[in-house]
């Protein structure tokens, strides 16, 4: 039996999700008892709803920092990815907007400049006071791990590879002590680079120095593109969150991270950014987030150029389509039992899409997840054009009769489908074009009587 909705219903049923003002989390955060997501100090689940703000510390004034944080908080963001020290992407890199350099002697990790780190600590405290978790990279290495020192390098790989073990350890100890009072941090090793040889040893020295300083904050890793945090063997024992860095289609990588034993909170740290084309990533950027949301269940980080480096026009970009779409996805997940979602075919969950799901790892793959107690089922159909698309979904995993709707990721509206018995798999057909010239939709099925959006 086909459960469909006419394309003409899209505008008529476009009822927005309510805004929810999130309570400020009680830092610090830690993995939940299940290992699937983060919880705050009160045990309240915390889903990463993040944005790449790499150059926040180095490229903004105090007033600009406040304006940015206040805007993102209003839009429901709660997490930022930030470089502690910047090598290239700032107006006066490596100096901040106050003119302070991170090291008294350029590139000498053993000579940190207090003035620079005083400002950095103030920025991180501003983020904490507004309820932001900061995924902080103590020394971003740079894409491709450049071996030679040059001002145009993205990161610090060359300087670090040429540093003594004592200098690397000293820098880690300094940073750990200087930021010890900030309980809103998760440390991020790496930075677009899978370190080897002397660079790996220095990076491990920075990590050990931070830990020796008494910092108990969790660690994750951001290596070369298309890796997980646990893919760097020397660092794997220190990882407490598994960050997925995957272009093209992040869904398979998120599934790999979710399936890890013992469980570790898996989240998407980077995929296709809005206004950027990297490794065949393409618009709309929302598709990467929706794919990932059904397997990287600990949360998501979105990205936008010019926001991530705070280049010309970043203020106007705060109101970009991608910002709205990330906000809408967060509001949808807030209304659902996201902590209980099991990806299709994993954790004892049956394969949820039995026909029309596309090929694994390709641009048309349908992502799906459901709760073990049968109260909710979600399936994301990515954009393949403008036409309607059909899938068969095994709704027998639901624990009773349910109600189905199509969620429009471009607008945040719903198109009703109607009651859905849970007695046999059902055919669902999307309304087609969602108003953005594309045909991606999220199927939302919730058991009757259970909370629903």
- Same domain for 228 and 85? yes
- Same domain for 303 and 437? no
* Strand order through the sheet with 2-4: 2-4, 426-429, 390-393, 353-355
- Same domain for 213 and 350? no
Are the C-beta atoms of residues 180 and 213 closer than 8 Å to each other? yes
- Same domain for 127 and 149? yes
Residue 453 in any domain: the answer is no
Distance between CA atoms of residues 170 and 176, nearest Å: 10
Residue whose token pair is 């039995």: 354
Write out the residue range of the structural domain in which residue 382 sits.
2-9+341-447
Residue 314 in any domain: the answer is yes
What pLDDT, on the 0 to 100 scale, is given for residue 216?
Answer: 87
What pLDDT, on the 0 to 100 scale, is given for residue 285?
Answer: 97
Q: Among 293, 314, 334, give the residue marking a domain's end.
A: 334
Q: Which residues, including other chains, have CB under 8 Å from residue 79's CB and lie 6 or more apart?
A: 48, 49, 50, 51, 132, 133, 134, 135, 299, 301
What pLDDT, on the 0 to 100 scale, is given for residue 451?
Answer: 62
pLDDT in tens, 159-193: 999 999 999 999 999 999 999 999 999 999 999 99
- Same domain for 328 and 345? no
Neighbour count for residue 395 (Cβ, 10 Å): 25
- Same domain for 254 and 309? yes
Residue 245 in any domain: the answer is yes
Are the C-beta atoms of residues 50 and 78 closer than 8 Å to each other? yes
Q: Within 13 Å of residue 229, how many CA atoms lie on the same side as its CB?
A: 27
Please give the biggest Cα pair distance in the chain: 72
β-bridge mates for residue 187, sequence order: 136, 219
Residue 14 in any domain: the answer is no
- Same domain for 192 and 301? yes
Q: Among 298, 319, 334, give the residue marking a domain's end.
A: 334
Distance between CA atoms of residues 219 and 240, nearest Å: 6
Residue 172 in any domain: the answer is yes
- Kindly report the CATH number assigned to the domain that includes residue 56: 3.20.20.80
Distance between CA atoms of residues 6 and 52, nearest Å: 37
Backbone φ, ψ for residue 286 (5° rounding) = -60, -30
What pLDDT, on the 0 to 100 scale, is given for residue 453?
Answer: 61
Per-residue pLDDT of the chain (453 residues; tens, 9 = 90+): 334 443 333 433 444 676 766 689 999 999 999 999 999 999 999 999 999 999 999 999 999 999 999 999 999 999 999 999 999 999 999 999 999 999 999 999 999 999 999 999 999 999 999 999 999 999 999 999 999 999 899 999 999 999 999 999 999 999 999 999 999 999 999 999 999 999 999 999 999 999 999 888 999 999 999 999 999 999 999 999 999 999 999 999 999 999 999 999 999 999 999 999 999 899 999 999 999 999 999 999 999 999 999 999 999 999 999 999 999 999 999 999 999 999 999 999 999 999 999 999 999 999 999 999 999 999 999 999 999 999 999 999 999 999 999 999 999 999 999 999 999 999 999 999 999 999 999 999 999 876 666
- Kindly report the CATH number assigned to the domain that includes residue 428: 2.60.40
Residue 425 in any domain: the answer is yes
- Same domain for 302 and 386? no
- Per the structure, the count of domains in the chain is 2
- Same domain for 260 and 396? no
Neighbour count for residue 425 (Cβ, 10 Å): 17
- Same domain for 316 and 355? no
Distance between CA atoms of residues 251 and 293, nearest Å: 8
What pLDDT, on the 0 to 100 scale, is given for residue 16?
Answer: 64
- Same domain for 346 and 317? no
What pLDDT, on the 0 to 100 scale, is given for residue 6?
Answer: 36
- Same domain for 383 and 244? no
β-bridge mates for residue 403, sequence order: 419, 446
Backbone φ, ψ for residue 221 (5° rounding) = -140, 145
Q: Among 334, 365, 389, give the residue marking a domain's end.
A: 334
Element counts in the chain: helices (H) and strands (E): 11, 22
Residue 397 in any domain: the answer is yes
Residue 452 in any domain: the answer is no
């Amino acid at each position: 039996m086909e459960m469909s909705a006419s394309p003409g219903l899209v505008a008529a049923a476009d009822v927005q999700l309510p805004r929810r003002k999130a309570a400020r989390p009680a830092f610090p955060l830690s993995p939940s008892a299940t290992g699937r997501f983060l919880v705050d100090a009160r045990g309240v689940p915390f889903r990463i709803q993040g944005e790449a703000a790499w150059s926040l510390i180095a490229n903004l004034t105090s007033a600009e920092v406040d304006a940015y944080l206040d805007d993102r908080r209003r839009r429901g963001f709660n997490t930022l990815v930030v470089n502690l020290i910047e090598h290239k992407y700032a107006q006066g890199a490596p100096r901040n907007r106050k003119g302070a350099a991170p090291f008294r002697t350029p590139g000498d990790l053993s000579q940190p400049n207090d003035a620079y780190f005083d400002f950095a600590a103030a920025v991180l405290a501003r983020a904490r006071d507004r309820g932001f978790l900061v995924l902080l990279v103590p020394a971003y290495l740079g894409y491709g791990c450049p071996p030679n020192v040059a001002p145009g390098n993205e990161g610090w790989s060359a300087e670090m590879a040429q540093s003594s073990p004592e200098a690397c350890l000293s820098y880690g100890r300094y940073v750990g002590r200087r930021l010890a009072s900030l309980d809103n941090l998760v440390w991020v090793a790496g930075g677009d680079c899978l370190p080897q040889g002397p660079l790996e040893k220095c990076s491990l020295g920075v990590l050990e120095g931070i830990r020796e300083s008494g910092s108990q904050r969790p660690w994750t890793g951001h290596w070369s593109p298309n890796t997980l945090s646990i893919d760097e063997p020397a660092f794997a024992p220190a990882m407490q969150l598994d960050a997925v860095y995957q272009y093209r289609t992040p869904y398979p990588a998120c599934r790999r991270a979710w399936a890890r034993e013992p469980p570790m909170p898996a989240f998407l740290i980077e995929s296709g950014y809005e206004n950027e084309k990297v490794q065949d990533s393409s618009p709309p950027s929302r598709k990467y987030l929706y794919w990932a949301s059904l397997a990287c269940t600990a949360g998501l980080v979105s990205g936008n150029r010019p926001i991530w480096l705070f280049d010309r026009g970043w203020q106007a970009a705060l109101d970009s389509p991608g910002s709205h779409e990330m906000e809408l996805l967060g509001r949808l997940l807030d209304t659902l039992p996201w902590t209980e979602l099991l990806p299709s075919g994993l954790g004892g969950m049956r394969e949820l899409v039995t026909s029309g799901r596309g090929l694994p790892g390709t641009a048309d793959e349908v992502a799906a997840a459901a709760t073990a107690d049968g109260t909710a089922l979600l399936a994301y159909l990515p954009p393949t054009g403008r036409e309607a698309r059909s899938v068969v979904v095994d709704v027998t995993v639901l624990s009773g009769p349910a109600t189905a709707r199509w969620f429009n990721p471009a607008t945040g509206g719903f198109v009703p489908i109607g009651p859905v018995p849970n007695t046999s798999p059902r055919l669902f057909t999307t309304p087609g074009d969602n108003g953005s010239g594309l045909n991606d939709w999220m199927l939302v099925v919730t058991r009757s009587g259970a909370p629903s959006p």
